[in-house]
Amino acid sequence: MPLPTSAPTLTDGVVTLRAHTAADLDALVVLARDPETVRWTSIPEPYEQADARRWVEVTVPAGWREGTAARWVVEEDGGFAGQVDVHLGAPPFVGYGLLAAARGRGLMSRALRLAAHWAFTQADAPVLHWWAQAGNLASWRVAHACGFTFEGTRRRAVRRSGELVDGWFASLMPDEEMAPRTTWWPLPELRGEHVRLRPHTDADLPRIAEACSDARTRHWMPALPHPYTVESARAFVLGCRLAESLGQKVTWAVADRDDDRLLANVSVFRLDDDLNPTGGEIEYWAHPDARGRGVVGEAVDLVVAHAFAPREEGGLGRHRLQIGASRDNTASRHVAERAGFTLVGEVHQDAVVGVGADRTLDDGVWYELLTSRRG
């Protein structure tokens, strides 16, 4: 069927997609100058009202007239909230942005579903692609909520501010439900007597780099990048957040309750194992100046309690947890045993330990804890 030459009005009763008008110019400038918009897009800087006028009077109408781009204002309660685009070329792809005051309430997910449904049913789009600069979790959260399947990270694949940066890519097919494909695990704060488990911050990055450059850490974790820099730490943290969105693992910074200094790191992973859908594995490491103080042990106790708590109570809903360690890693084994895990087996020549000329295959030991046997 022929495409419309101007934006049709679409609504789900909460948000409305409508045509741009001259009354939107001021709001478009605010959106374009928002720090998050500037950070994650290639929008012109500085963005002036003349740019907004050109957008409303020239760019948007041309896209509809030529059938190359469908663009709408996202409206809530009669007010401008943002905009959403569907580019109809090869390949078709989506773009969107919200005013700061409209974020965090699911409005853009609603808008994207309306636009995607229109693209599939009215424009016969065979697929919709999404991409963003790697690290743009807010944009990925919208696409994730709408059922886009994450396809991976491509290096130097997105242009930002005149240079190429890494990008995240996902897609949605016409016959797919517009609902999340994976559990996006939340990262609640867990508080103990001496430690607080929380998301990582930029202030943690130097401490992560120090811990992962330490000779003892590297002996037991030889796959760590070398040299391990602050940028390595930044990539590690970003990977943790992405893994939570893909339902794979949950990772906390273990911080001092008094000064918030990073002391250790703890994760529950293998949360997406189809063969054991309520199992999981715990891993951990400590900063050198936090060793021998019971920091990791307290953190593991908090994580075990959270992992065994039912999902309806905010936990991970696990029934079995395991911990693996090198046979000679007495510190790691002490943590597992202190937390009540039972030694269930030893595997010969299980993994490489050591670096350089000291690399060797070491035997591994495995511990488990069942919620039915806990405590």
Q: Which two tokens stand for residue 279?
A: 């199992």
**DSSP state letter for 181:** S
Exposure b/e, 30-56, CB count within 10 A at least 16 = b? bbbebeebeebbeeeeebeeebbeebb
Task: Give whole-number Cα distances, 141 to 66, 248, 256, 302, in Å.
Answer: 31, 16, 30, 27
1: pLDDT confidence band, cut at 50, 70 and 90? low
Instruction: Decide if pLDDT at 373 tops 80.
Output: no
The side-by-side arrangement of strands in the sheet containing 190-191 is: 190-191, 195-198, 250-256, 262-269, 279-286, 320-326, 360-370, 342-353
Amino acid at 16: T
Please report the domains of the chain, with CATH numbers, ordered by start residue.
Answer: 10-172 (3.40.630.30), 190-373 (3.40.630.30)
The secondary structure of the chain in percent helix, strand, coil, rounded to multiples of 5, reads 35, 30, 35
| Distance separating alpha carbons of residues 317 and 5, to the nearest angstrom | 51
Dump strand ranges (E) for 306-359.
320-326, 342-353
Query: What is the enclosing helix (H) or strand (E) of 234?
Result: helix 230-245
Backbone φ and ψ for 46, nearest 5 degrees, come out as: -75, 150
pLDDT computed for residue 161 by the predictor: 81
Backbone φ and ψ for 156, nearest 5 degrees, come out as: 50, 50
* Average pLDDT of the residues in 159-168: 92
pLDDT computed for residue 375 by the predictor: 56
| Distance separating alpha carbons of residues 212 and 210, to the nearest angstrom | 6
Contact 144, 245 (CB under 8 A): yes
Q: Which long-range contacts (CB under 8 A, 24 or more apart) does 329-335 make?
A: 329/220, 331/291, 332/220, 332/284, 333/365, 333/367, 334/297, 335/284, 335/296, 335/297, 335/300
Beta bridge partners of 269: 281
| Distance separating alpha carbons of residues 195 and 253, to the nearest angstrom | 10
Query: What is the enclosing helix (H) or strand (E) of 335?
Result: helix 330-338
Chain-centre distance of CA 133, in angstroms? 12
Q: Which two tokens stand for residue 184?
A: 């996006």
Of the candidates 185, 307, 179, the residue with the CA atom closest to the CA atom of residue 247? 185
pLDDT digits (tens, 9 = 90+) for 73-119: 999 999 999 999 999 999 999 999 999 999 999 999 999 999 999 99
Backbone φ and ψ for 371, nearest 5 degrees, come out as: -60, -30
Exposure b/e, 325-362, CB count within 10 A at least 16 = b? bbeebeebbebbeebebeeeeeeeebeebeeeeeeeeb
Amino acid at 329: N
162: pLDDT confidence band, cut at 50, 70 and 90? confident
* Average pLDDT of the residues in 22-41: 97
* Average model confidence (pLDDT) across the chain: 96
pLDDT computed for residue 374 by the predictor: 66
160: pLDDT confidence band, cut at 50, 70 and 90? confident
Provide, rounded to the nearest whole percent, the portion of the chain with pLDDT above 70: 99
pLDDT digits (tens, 9 = 90+) for 275-289: 999 999 999 999 999
Query: What is the enclosing helix (H) or strand (E) of 366?
Result: strand 360-370
pLDDT computed for residue 321 by the predictor: 98
pLDDT digits (tens, 9 = 90+) for 325-337: 999 999 999 999 9
Q: Which two tokens stand for residue 136?
A: 């743009």
Provide, rounded to the nearest whole percent, the portion of the chain with pLDDT above 90: 94
Judged by average pLDDT, the poorest of 43-52, 250-259, 265-274, 352-361 is 352-361
pLDDT digits (tens, 9 = 90+) for 165-209: 999 999 999 999 999 999 999 999 999 999 999 999 999 999 999
Question: For the whole prediction, is pTM greater than 0.85?
Answer: yes
* Average pLDDT of the residues in 296-311: 98
Query: What is the enclosing helix (H) or strand (E) of 143?
Result: helix 137-145
293: pLDDT confidence band, cut at 50, 70 and 90? very high
Contact 209, 232 (CB under 8 A): yes
Contact 181, 147 (CB under 8 A): yes
